[in-house]
Homo-oligomer: A and B are copies of this chain.
Amino acid sequence: MLSDIVENILAGSLRAAARLIRKIDDGAPEATECLKRLYPHSGNAFVIGLTGPPGVGKSTLTDALIEEIRKQGKTVGVLAVDPSSPFSGGAILGDRIRMQRHATDEGVFIRSMATRGEFGGITAATRGAVVVMDVMGKDFVLVETVGVGQDELDIARIADTTIIVLAPGLGDSIQAIKAGILEIGDLFVINKADLNGAEKTEQEIKAMIDMGQSTVLEQDNWIPSVVKTVANRLQGIDLLWSEIDRHRHYFTGNVSPQFLKRKRFNLKLELIEMVKQRLVDSLLKKMDDEGELEQAVEQILEKQTDPYTLSEKILKKLV
């Protein structure tokens, strides 16, 4: 049964791949077993992450990139991940529907995930789905994160090239971008660049990158580039693609120390997340089974003690 799924995916079955991705999304335990067997076959796809605040046109850009990749005769898997936000704009649905025009193209495989971390963490679930698309033989995997939380940033981290998508006038100023973004962005895209303020946004991002050069990016020779696009008119997509390509060669061409360093760092984060989630699940389940949490709650309600003292006590018992 398990080996059926694995063999079918390796043999190119879209249905088997779609099923496994759904199992990962649902947090099904057998998904882990499948991934163990698929993992040795993975490592060939180049993973591109897209992230950014709502309304900047990430889906339209993803759509344009699909077209560009197909024009090059390459295949692509697309993963849209929307983990954390309980609110979602109506646009998302529309965008997903638009992307469906690729549905009949065998070189394109699009899936969305709404994972809430059941599968050993959100990043782990996304990585699992990327592994599936990788062993399907896709040349590229695009991971588009729909939300705006830290989770989404972590997901972008599993990418080989991370693209931060922004748009003019977003928050009016550089204040719109917090510190962490700079560190993970390999490329910055200003989409909707036909709107007022594109130049100003570009200058601000460039100034930010310059500032960053002297601090966080010191060890790294890659200077993030800034590309302006109008994705819904396919403007700037060729330039964006050539920048992605340049970054890809920079990192994979001579297996640079930077590339290995990032791979190591990302793998470590991933492992931490997987262990963390499972650890917490198993220990909390144990506590819950023994009614320990309920007792603790009563003690706090009766003001016999406080949550700070109690959580320390529980912790000591666990480790």
Contacts and interface: CB of A to CB of B under 8 A. Distances in A.
A278 interface: yes
A255 B153 CA distance: 43
A57 interface: no
A96 to B, nearest CB: 11
A135 to B, nearest CB: 12
A319 B280 CA distance: 10
Given A36-B306, A300-B267, A319 B147 contact: no
Q: Interface centre among A270, A308, A314, by most B CB within 10 Å?
A: A308
A275 B276 CA distance: 13
B86 A180 contact: yes
Contact of A87 (B124, B181, B263, B287): B181
B150 A148 contact: no
Contacts of A93: 175
Main SS of chain A's interface residues? helix
Contacts of A258: none
Contact of A314 (B147, B178, B271, B280): B271
B149 A307 contact: no
A314 B296 CA distance: 29
Contact of A308 (B39, B90, B282, B294): B39
Contact of A280 (B148, B276, B297, B308): B276
Nearest to A34: B308
A199 B151 CA distance: 35
Given A85-B149, A148-B147, A297 B271 contact: yes
B297 A264 contact: yes
A223 interface: no
B311 A278 contact: yes
B272 A284 contact: yes
Given A151-B84, A306-B40, A90 B267 contact: no
Contacts of A1: none
Interface in A33-60: 35-36, 39-40, 43, 52-54
Nearest to A294: B268
Given A88-B171, A90-B171, A267 B32 contact: no
B178 A148 contact: no
A175 B280 CA distance: 32
A315 B278 contact: yes
A176 interface: yes
25 contacts: A32-B308, A35-B306, A35-B308, A36-B308, A52-B87, A87-B176, A88-B171, A88-B178, A89-B171, A90-B171, A90-B172, A91-B171, A149-B150, A263-B301, A268-B293, A268-B294, A270-B307, A271-B297, A271-B310, A272-B284, A275-B311, A275-B318, A278-B311, A282-B315, A282-B319
Given A89-B176, A270-B307, A272-B284, 16 more contacts: A35-B308, A39-B308, A84-B84, A84-B149, A87-B181, A88-B178, A116-B150, A127-B307, A264-B301, A268-B293, A271-B296, A271-B307, A274-B307, A279-B279, A279-B319, A283-B319
